[in-house]
Structure 1
Amino acid sequence: MSDFWNERYAENEYAYGIKPNQFFAESISKLPENGKIVFPAEGEGRNAVFAAKNGFEVFAFDTSIEGKKKADKLANDQGVKIDYRVRILEELDFEPASFDGAVFIYAHFPKSIRATIHKQIEELLKPNGVLIFEAFSKEQLQYPSGGPKDLEMLFSEEEIKDEFKNIEFDFLKTEIIELSEGPYHQGKGSVVRFIGKKK
């Protein structure tokens, strides 16, 4: 998958734009003020940079070096610093219970590793740490607005409840939204969203 993302992020234009995801922008106030936040599969950095601009201590990771280049440029252009690492989660030296929040925005992993990654991110959160999540639902295959074409990489509410066992959900819902995020997220789409806290 690294080759796929490196090819996409090597394009001059930001694949999903430079503005933050709308749901995250609307929900950022739910994160603990000035907290330490981790962004898995952060791509070109739009959400991490937005968080840094809002006073958060930001850590991000992805497997794409081209994504990091774009993220570093965006952070520099907007006058903030983010700690962005090109690694898989197992290679990072993050301590358990060391983050105040985690933000999953279209972080779609293969089914074989997804539940493990979700559990590992849960373990990085402090008690009452906040998790903000938006990703494509299984119904997204009906829409041409972006996302994986593999049904197993898409989400249902039941799978989320099963894979985030230590999260107490403030809300969890599937919605049809209008996407306008760079050239690769455009048009009507079906997403699953939640905000929750670690038990």
Structure 2
Amino acid sequence: MKTFWDERYKAEKYVYGETPNAFLASKLAGLKPGKILLPAEGEGRNAVFAAKSGWEVQAFDWSEEGLKKAEKLADKEKVHISYQLGAMEEIHYEPETFDALGLIFAHFPETNRRVYHQKLSDFLKPGGYLILEGFSKAHLQFNTENPKAGGPKNEGMLFSLEDIRNDFPDFHWELLEEVQEELKEGEFHVGKAALIRAFGRKKKTN
């Protein structure tokens, strides 16, 4: 899979565009900037937007080509992002470091997903926010009909509402929904999509 993403991100243009994910952008607009973590950040569109909005940004991905594109975009927009290269198993931050966690189309193998999600949750401060958008299991019908709609072809890597509730049990949900929308994000998120959206706050410990 690393080879797949390196090949995709080698293109000169930004294959998912240079503008941020609309759901992430809408939710960040209502939050006081602090420290944000963006896993599986790819070409950096969301990291650069967050930095331009006043956030201190940490991001990571296992694609070296993605990192290069992200740093190039940050230079173009004259902002600083801290971007690590590595797989989930190699990434470590101090517990309870971040004020927000943005998981935008960050899909992991079903066998590891819950462990990865809990690891990422541990990096979030109590009272910190999770912003998640990803493809639901119903999306298979859309990317079968239209490959440009994007998303994994493996149903196990797609989300259900129950998956999110189970993977993030220590959150109060302000929004947790499944929707169908037309995506227009670069070249590979184009067309009708079935999405899971979540916006929640990590419970504070007594």
Q: TM-score range by the shorter chain?
A: over 0.9
In structure 1, the partner of 2:167 is: 163
In structure 2, the partner of 1:10 is: 10
In structure 1, the partner of 2:26 is: 26
Instruction: Give deviations 1:147-190, integer Å, cap 9, x for gaps.
Output: 00000000000111111111111110000011000000001111
Counterparts of 2:3 and 2:16 in 1: how far apart (Å)? 18
Counterparts of 1:63 and 1:113 in 2: how far apart (Å)? 16
In structure 2, the partner of 1:66 is: 65
1:191 to 187, 191, 195: 195
In structure 1, the partner of 2:87 is: 88
Gaps of at least 5 residues in structure 2 are none
In structure 1, the partner of 2:77 is: 78
Are the aligned partners of 1:30 and 1:130 in contact in 2 as well (CA < 8 Å)? no
In structure 1, the partner of 2:158 is: 154
Counterparts of 1:136 and 1:46 in 2: how far apart (Å)? 18
In structure 2, the partner of 1:127 is: 126
Total equivalences in the alignment: 198
TM-score, reference length from structure 1: 0.97
Shift of 1:39: 0.2
Instruction: Give deviations 1:87-112, integer Å, cap 9, x for gaps.
Output: 12332331000111100000001111
Instruction: Give deviations 1:24-45, integer Å, cap 9, x for gaps.
Output: 11111243x2200000100000
Instruction: Say which SS state the counterpart of residue 173 (structure 1) adopts.
Output: strand
> How much is the aligned-residue C-alpha RMSD, in angstroms?
0.9
Are the aligned partners of 1:45 and 1:74 in contact in 2 as well (CA < 8 Å)? yes
Between the aligned residues of both structures, percent identity stands at 49
TM-score, reference length from structure 2: 0.94
Counterparts of 2:136 and 2:91 in 1: how far apart (Å)? 29
Are the aligned partners of 1:37 and 1:56 in contact in 2 as well (CA < 8 Å)? yes
Instruction: Give deviations 1:1-22, integer Å, cap 9, x for gaps.
Output: 1101000000112110000011
Instruction: Give deviations 1:40-91, integer Å, cap 9, x for gaps.
Output: 1000000010000000000000000000000000000000000001112332
| Runs of 4+, deviation exceeding 6 Å | none
